[in-house]
Amino acid sequence: MAVVVRVPTPLRRLTNGQGEVQVEASTIREAIERLEELYPGFKDRLLDENGELRRFVNLYLNDEDIRFLKGVDSELKDGDIISVVPAIAGGF
């Protein structure tokens, strides 16, 4: 299944400047593995040493936060869109 991954600006240096890439995957975890194969270093930016999503990274599957689905084990279907959104902290 082909899915689109939207890449935030800070990670585009890994994807040769591309803001969107496509991968074949049936779960979010598999999509991350495919991204790592195509763009080495991508996985380390998203997952911690235990294979879980880093706290400061948000992944959305078709506008739904994967933390409210099945996390990185969420299933994908053809045409799904995964958005990688780094957390932003700020204050006044």
The CATH class that applies to domain 2-86 reads alpha beta
Q: What digits encode the pLDDT tens for the residues 24-74?
A: 999 999 999 999 999 999 999 999 999 999 989 999 999 999 999 999 999
Alpha carbons within 13 angstroms on the beta-carbon side of residue 79 total 0
What pLDDT is attached to residue 23? Answer: 97
DSSP secondary structure string for all residues of 52-77 = SBPTTEEEEETTEEGGGTTGGG-B--
The answer, yes or no, to whether residue 90 has pLDDT greater than 80, is no
pLDDT of residue 87: 79
Confidence of residue 89 (pLDDT cuts 50, 70, 90): low
Distances in Å between the Cα of 85 and the Cα atoms of 1, 64, 92 are: 22, 12, 22
Which pTM was predicted? 0.90
Q: What is the CA radius of gyration of the chain?
A: 12
